[in-house]
Chain A
């Protein structure tokens, strides 16, 4: 059954055609054979009965004049029929009167049977009355072999086999052409389906070949394609509109953050206390680093994702410019990494704090180099490694980066935790701050 289920439609249709025609043929052959069997039996009975009547009529005088020899001679004429194995004449009282054949006759007429014939396994027996002028003179009994019937049935079987084979060939020939009526539209529909599956566009349409169920199927398939294409189009349009809207939002957020930064700048200009000015500048730089993120967001193709390399470049330039240390080199080196906004903002703020700290404290002589790197973690480890290293005076031994009173280091510590990072500090040859972080939602 599984074999039938997995067969191709072409084979299935052909199999159904062949099976149906074969069954019909077998039934027809069977019916003909049965009819022929019955009619042959009937004609055999009729022929044997007629023969018995003829022979019986020729025995009337012999019976009347009690002349057994004559009856024997009459019966001897049955030699002409080789299938006849026995012929007996019984007189009126049922006594054997004359006999023909190799079989020894029974003395008495067998019990009268009705109808006046009987089919044995391979022979046919017939009893007929012998009458003269309406008077019953005796009975004639003939027994014939049934080889004719057997031969005929055997011949019938052979014809049926030949006929079945020939008809099957013709059916195969015609059926394999006619099945296309059913299978072709299905195969075309299947082809259309494959084209749609392999091709992202929904422009493919199924060919329709008539108004039958398959035609309706093609219609339905096409209607579905049209609706999917329409929805796809609507979704695209809506997505574009949302992207535009989102860019607009990022743009405004950036503008507002820049306004805040500018306001902080203006505020700092009007204050004379250096410490306060410093606090305001730091705040301004933090706001700027965030504004820069939004600027990059609406500038990129993919909203919500930041190309870290470009961003870090811009950020470093911006921070370095605000400190105006011409002899300190700021060297960002970032792998080709894309992060989502949730990770990118903490990263930006961390870089901002560490770079600012370096520029502020590491180079009292105003000369040195700061390297900023973001790289993928070495093979076998997840996440990224962010490094800010300077070759300046180094962090004082009293300062613990994880438990510092400085707002900047506190921020770094908190932000590193936010992005599941681990902060390490290396004080050999300047200060190297390294954060191994692993964003939960990788971009």
Chain B
């Protein structure tokens, strides 16, 4: 399945895919070191360390529309940044990985930002409806941890199930935005719809 086409030669497409894969590898490595095998890590990872790892891993199961620049994985965090140094911790365990650019745009600037993943924190959800409305045609994976985030038109919403972090996915919203979500990802998620019941 081609990731990119017209503006790039097949060679550069391959290079980009390779870069993404490499990046993802290190991210995944870090994640596993801290989540899957707690005994190997010093402490049990915090909620937002897990969520940060999930954010990075989402990129491995999402295809952005062709033509999207994917040299750097750009993650925008709107509202209060709950992650602290979680990203630095994860990425620091995988030195030499492709850069992940974390941006903190103001809620008002959202329609103009160029991100792969847009995380709307719970504290930023006052403007949630507007932001989701303004970005619903942009090729950005919207992720949030507000209650009913996905049902409100977001694509991926973190939830807690049996004390574990899981997620809901609004696949309609992703499709509208031109993103293709891997079936493997969808299988792990609770699928919801705009305005549909949980």
Which residues of A approach B to under 8 Å, CB–CB?
Answer: 58, 60-67, 70, 91-93, 95, 97, 132-135, 137
- Write the nearest CB–CB distance from A77 to chain B, whole angstroms: 12
B29-37, B108-116, B141-149: which one contacts chain A?
B29-37
Which chain B residues lie closer than 8 Å to A92 at the CB level?
A: 29, 32-33, 36-37
| Interface presence of B179 (CB below 8 A) | no
| Interface presence of B187 (CB below 8 A) | yes
| Interface presence of B184 (CB below 8 A) | yes
15 other A-B residue contacts (CB within 8 Å) besides A92-B29, A133-B28 = A61-B182, A61-B185, A62-B184, A62-B188, A64-B32, A65-B54, A66-B35, A92-B37, A93-B32, A95-B36, A95-B37, A97-B36, A133-B60, A135-B24, A135-B25
Distance in angstroms between the alpha carbons of A34 and B60 in the assembled complex: 47
Contact (A91, B32) CB under 8 Å given A64-B57, A64-B60, A134-B21: yes
- Name B62-93 residues within 8 Å CB distance of A: none
Distance in angstroms between the alpha carbons of A61 and B188 in the assembled complex: 7
| Contact between chains at A64 and B21 (CB < 8 Å) | no
Distance in angstroms between the alpha carbons of A216 and B187 in the assembled complex: 90
A67 contact from B21, B32, B188, Cβ within 8 A: B188
Contact (A61, B187) CB under 8 Å given A133-B25, A134-B25: yes
24 A-B interface contacts by CB (under 8 A): A58-B184, A61-B61, A61-B182, A61-B184, A61-B185, A64-B28, A64-B31, A64-B57, A64-B60, A70-B188, A91-B32, A91-B37, A92-B29, A92-B32, A92-B33, A93-B40, A95-B36, A132-B28, A132-B60, A133-B22, A133-B25, A134-B22, A135-B25, A135-B29
Which chain A residues lie closer than 8 Å to B37 at the CB level?
A: 91-93, 95
| Contact between chains at A133 and B21 (CB < 8 Å) | yes
Contact (A93, B21) CB under 8 Å given A64-B31, A70-B188: no
| Interface presence of B180 (CB below 8 A) | no
Distance in angstroms between the alpha carbons of A63 and B54 in the assembled complex: 11
Which chain A residues lie closer than 8 Å to B164 at the CB level?
A: 66
Which chain A residues lie closer than 8 Å to B185 at the CB level?
A: 61
| Contact between chains at A60 and B36 (CB < 8 Å) | no
Distance in angstroms between the alpha carbons of A93 and B25 in the assembled complex: 16
Chain A residue at smallest Cβ distance from B25: A135
Chain B residue at smallest Cβ distance from A63: B36
Chain A residue at smallest Cβ distance from B189: A65
Contact (A60, B24) CB under 8 Å given A65-B57, A135-B29: no
Which chain B residues lie closer than 8 Å to A70 at the CB level?
A: 187-188
| Contact between chains at A66 and B61 (CB < 8 Å) | no
- Write the nearest CB–CB distance from A238 to chain B, whole angstroms: 114
Distance in angstroms between the alpha carbons of A135 and B28 in the assembled complex: 8
| Interface presence of B166 (CB below 8 A) | yes
Distance in angstroms between the alpha carbons of A328 and B54 in the assembled complex: 165
Distance in angstroms between the alpha carbons of A196 and B166 in the assembled complex: 109
Q: Which of A65, A91, A137 has the most CB of B within 10 A?
A: A65
A60 contact from B33, B39, B54, B184, Cβ within 8 A: B184
Which chain A residues lie closer than 8 Å to B167 at the CB level?
A: 65
Mark B166-178 against chain A: 1 for CB-CB distance below 8 A, else 0. Answer: 1100000000000
Which chain A residues lie closer than 8 Å to B184 at the CB level?
A: 58, 60-62
Contact (A66, B21) CB under 8 Å given A60-B184, A135-B29, A137-B28: no
| Contact between chains at B36 and A66 (CB < 8 Å) | yes
Distance in angstroms between the alpha carbons of A66 and B33 in the assembled complex: 12
Which chain A residues lie closer than 8 Å to B36 at the CB level?
A: 63, 66, 91-93, 95, 97
Chain B residue at smallest Cβ distance from A92: B32
- Write the nearest CB–CB distance from A135 to chain B, whole angstroms: 4
Which chain B residues lie closer than 8 Å to A91 at the CB level?
A: 32, 36-37
Which chain B residues lie closer than 8 Å to A137 at the CB level?
A: 28, 32
- Write the nearest CB–CB distance from B77 to chain A, whole angstroms: 20
Q: Give me the 4 closest cross-chain CB pairs, A-B, nearest first.
A: A93-B37, A61-B184, A135-B25, A133-B21
